Amino acid sequence: MNRRKIWETLRPYVMILPAMLAILCFVIYPVFYLLKLSFYKYNLLNKAKSKFVGVDNYEQLFAKDEFYTALTNTVWYTIATVSLTMLIALLLALWINQKKGKKINALLQAGIFTPHIISIVSIALVWMLLMDPNHGILNFLLKLVGLPPSKWLQSSSTSMMSVILVSIWHGVGYYALIILAALKSVPPTIYEAAALDNASRFKTFYKITLPMISPQLFFILIIMTIGSFKVFDTVRIMTGGGPNNSTSTLVYHIYEYRSNNLGYASATGIVLMVIIAILTFVYFRMLSKKIHYQ
């Protein structure tokens, strides 16, 4: 009897043990290891020569101009990518949702989703070709409509915009599909009720559609913010942080110090983690009241 009772209390813990072990090994331990590294001057060649330096790495970090450049770049990148992707995805989803033809819809959905299944490396490479100032199609098109050509990735004033453009293009279809699914789950009779209540199109959107899809929008906002703060691949391939550090982001900054100053890179990683944690927390505090869960 007693043994059975013990088993009853233990059972849930035993059940989640494998998952917890995996999380412990692959999430918790690395995070703490990263934290430890950030307090060391680490020697990759000779581990024994590594030494504890306290908050030196952090002091160094907050004194570096490059870090602030990377941080500012990342913030701008995040703001632009998240807001524009969400806006375009929402508009796309609304547009597809009000289309009646089944075949056209399937085609459109497949079309906007395709960028998501292509490797970002390939996408970045193709866009680099398109954005070539001399032979690229984009400049050719600009000239065709009579606009001045752009230097795209090769000027520090347009490089960030170009990276943002590629990121949006890559992500927008995927998020549009999530929003579309949310839109489709709104019962049509609610819209009919709104029509009978003499609601204008704007009011219907603002008071009914938007609250109904708010959980999905909130999810996208958080996922995208976190993802954008960690942007790396496009930068690595398309610009290498340049020209003149104009596209250097936090993760790219970490990457640059991966071998010659591991402790410093770790400290940057910790700072990035803290920023994302704070941001997510703020989002929840600010928005959770406005989200309507069914």
Cα distance between residue 42 and residue 262, in whole Å: 6
Cα dist. 38→1, 53, 262 in Å?
A: 51, 9, 8
Which strand (E) or helix (H) includes residue 97?
helix 65-97
> Residue 98 or 294: which CB sits closer to another protein?
294
Strand ranges inside 20-173, DSSP E? 40-41, 51-52
Total of residues contacting another protein (CB under 8 A): 20
Angle at 93 between CA 87 and CA 94, to 5 degrees: 90
Q: How far is the CB of 101 from another protein (least distance, A)?
A: 14
Q: Does 59 bind another protein (CB under 8 A)?
A: no
The answer for 293, left when phi > 0, alpha when psi is -120 to 50, beta otherwise, is beta
Which residues, 128 to 187, sit near another protein by CB under 8 A? Answer: 187
Q: Which is nearer to another protein, 36 or 292 (CB)?
A: 292
Q: How far apart are CA 227 and CA 236, in angstroms?
A: 15
Distance between first and last Cα of the chain? 42
> Which residue's CB is nearer to another protein, number 84 or number 199?
199
**Closer residue to another protein in complex, CB, 185/244:** 185
- Coil, helix or strand at residue 185: coil
In angstroms, give the least distance from the CB of 165 to another protein.
35
Least separation in angstroms between CB 82 and another protein? 24
| Residues of span 189-248 touching another protein by CB under 8 A | 189-190, 192-200, 203, 207-208, 211-212, 214
Complex with another protein: residue 198 or 260, whichever CB lies closer:
198
Applying CB under 8 A, the residues found at the interface with another protein are: 187, 189-190, 192-200, 203, 207-208, 211-212, 214, 292, 294
